[in-house]
Amino acid sequence: MSESDRHNILGSVANQAKLALTPVSQFMSPDSMVLEENYTIKGTIEIFRVHKISGAPIVDFQKKILGVISEYDLLIQAASRPLHFQIEYKSQIIAVNPDTVLKDVLVMLYKKKLKWMPVITKEGYVQGIVTRIDVLNFIANNN
């Protein structure tokens, strides 16, 4: 099956469910964990473990997004740097806004091979995250 075929199938699934135009604000996780840029590698690992998360947005003191960090990022940092060092995070962010519709979220998660994405306002404030399971649960619960 080609990439184009998979892309078309994902779009078709969302359309068939008549949910394609539902905004992400209706099915995202609004109370998601956010981290500040001064967290240590060890502290971030502990937060991920305790809260059973695979990544988190990094925010400033006003809760504006600065970047994201994932388990993958932590694996590399934990293996190559002292654990008391501050985390390094990606400042190039793949994110959606609260009005982004299900079909677009589904395609972005799939094409970019993401487990989750931050949901941010036009002003850059984090409103939550949307995960693959958020999407799957929403589709399953509305069919």
Rg (CA), the chain: 16
Cβ atoms 32, 127 nearer than 8 A:
no
- Whether the per-residue pLDDT at 11 is higher than 90: the answer is no
Residue 74 φ then ψ, to 5°: -65, -35
User: How far, CA to CA in Å, does 32 sit from each of 10, 25, 94, 116?
Assistant: 26, 13, 16, 11
What is the Cα–Cα distance from 100 to 79, expressed in whole angstroms?
A: 37
Whole-prediction pTM: 0.83
* Phi, psi angle pair for 58, to nearest 5°: -105, 130
Task: Copy the structure tokens of residue 131.
Answer: 């995960």
Out of 23-27, 57-61, 135-139, which region has the weakest mean confidence (pLDDT)? 135-139
Q: Is the pLDDT of residue 29 over 90?
A: yes
